[in-house]
Amino acid sequence: MKNNAKIYCVGGAVRDRLLGLPVQDHDWVVVGSTPEDMVAQGFQPVGKDFPVFLHPDTHEEYALARTERKTARGYKGFAIYAAPDVTLEQDLLRRDFTINAIAQDADGNLIDPHNGIADLRAGILRHVSAAFGEDPVRILRAARFVARFGFAIAPETLALMRAMADNGEVDALVAERAWQELARGLMEKKPSRFFETLRSCGALAKILPEVDALFGVPQPEKYHPEIDCGIHTMLVLDDAAQHDYPLEVRFAALAHDLGKATTPEDILPRHTGHELRGVELVKKLSQRLRVPSDCRDLALLAARYHGDVHRARELRAETVIKLFQSADAWRRPERFTRLLQACASDARGRTGHGQDVYPQADYLLQLLAAARAVDAGEIAQQCADSGTIAAAVQLARIGAIRNLVQQRKEEQ
């Protein structure tokens, strides 16, 4: 580097190394350089909002030291200043938490102007400066770090987060960033902490009002009424995480019971069944946060059919076929399996359940295998009228399910 520029490792890599955790990625800050110098050294510019460059060999990100000044609400409402006179301490001052504001130089020396090492040892999540309150994404990041590390939020930081929820800063969240942080929070080892943190500062009601409305709503008498629908949803989420289910299953776990919350009359009529209310609320939530289609579609299936899956052995063959068709299980059996995973977490996510077995899954997968074994091509050849093929195939599948159910009864 020219002009006596210095490079420091910062952020998560330093934090995780101090915690004894595997380091996934490195972030670097360059002090005393310019964009022109970086390009001359072979770095590739990639930053749109501020000067970030990819190393020519490692492809890791190197950012010029910078300061930020708030100019408008929201994630992008900042004026960026990056120049050779910006110091490392000034760059660290703009970071979110003290545990992320530790730098390490080329000789391994730690630079910790905000006592982040002490907070790491104490398990405290504390904001670096009042600038934290200017970026609503940082509330979501706080919730995600609580879910990941189990840290406690410093009282002054929680107070600032509450103020951001109250003053409308949270309302400026960009949908894509909100979903990005939500998805990462769902994939943490204890995702319930993510949502409990948002609820504790009043942000959950602003970001996910459909989920916030579940708290305080009693479960049906047969489902451990001592826990409400919100607590139940958190238990379901943590079960999905414990079983290492993928993102779409975890989102379905989050959204499966939305219809049980009190729904305003202007959204859905009061007489609408909670499954249909749930479907409509999942649609609205997914549209608002621009949820990816695979997550949205599985959540819609879980909201509509988790009750049917739980009652699998009581379903008529015709109802089972309807379930398979709605899930497109003929062409996408893997998505049907993920629906069963979400339903299994729902069943296990109740106080006192204690069982890890969900027999409905094996039962329905056996019925699906029997129905898929029907030779649609052979049936089509036997139909003189092509317009009757679909009905004939469906009848054959219903018959295959009935035969298997009868066979299992006889075996018992």
| pLDDT mean over 274-298 | 94
Residue 183 maps to a domain = no
Q: In this structure, are 364 and 380 located in the same domain?
A: no
**Cβ pair 199, 212 in contact under 8 A:** yes
Residue 252 maps to a domain = yes
Q: What is the pLDDT of residue 1?
A: 55
* Structural domain span for residue 388: 376-411
pTM of the model: 0.87
Q: What is the pLDDT of residue 153?
A: 97
Q: In this structure, are 403 and 333 located in the same domain?
A: no
231-243 pLDDT, tens digit per residue, is 999 999 999 999 9
| pLDDT mean over 324-350 | 94
172-210 pLDDT, tens digit per residue, is 899 999 999 999 999 999 999 999 999 999 999 999 999
Q: In this structure, are 362 and 384 located in the same domain?
A: no
Q: What is the pLDDT of residue 256?
A: 95
End-to-end CA distance of the chain: 77
* Length in residues, the chain: 412
Residues 6+ apart with CB under 8 A from 223: 232, 350
Instruction: Report the range out of 26-40, 127-141, 383-397 with the highest average pLDDT.
Output: 127-141
Chain-centroid distance, C-alpha 304: 20
Q: In this structure, are 406 and 301 located in the same domain?
A: no
Residue 149 maps to a domain = no
- Please state whether beta strands 152-153 and 124-125 pair in parallel, antiparallel, or not at all (unpaired): parallel
Q: In this structure, are 308 and 391 located in the same domain?
A: no
pLDDT > 70 fraction of the chain, expressed in percent and rounded: 90
Instruction: Tell which of 117, 135, 154 closes a domain.
Output: 117
Helices (H), 41-190: 88-93, 116-122, 137-149, 155-166, 175-186
The CA distance from 343 to 352, in Å, is 17
**Cβ pair 191, 250 in contact under 8 A:** yes
Instruction: Tell which of 117, 141, 175 closes a domain.
Output: 117
Q: What is the pLDDT of residue 76?
A: 53
Residue 217 maps to a domain = no
Q: In this structure, are 284 and 381 located in the same domain?
A: no
66-79 pLDDT, tens digit per residue, is 887 655 555 555 56
Residues 6+ apart with CB under 8 A from 27: 9, 10, 11, 12, 13, 60, 61, 63
Q: Is the pLDDT of residue 331 over 70?
A: yes
Structure tokens at 278: 């749930």
Q: In this structure, are 288 and 402 located in the same domain?
A: no
Residue 4 maps to a domain = yes
87-119 pLDDT, tens digit per residue, is 999 999 989 999 999 999 999 999 999 999 999
Instruction: Tell which of 55, 84, 117 closes a domain.
Output: 117
Q: In this structure, are 6 and 98 located in the same domain?
A: yes
Query: How many structural domains is the chain composed of?
Result: 3
Residue 192 maps to a domain = no
Q: What is the pLDDT of residue 185?
A: 97
Residue 331 maps to a domain = yes
CATH of the domain at 22: 3.30.460.10
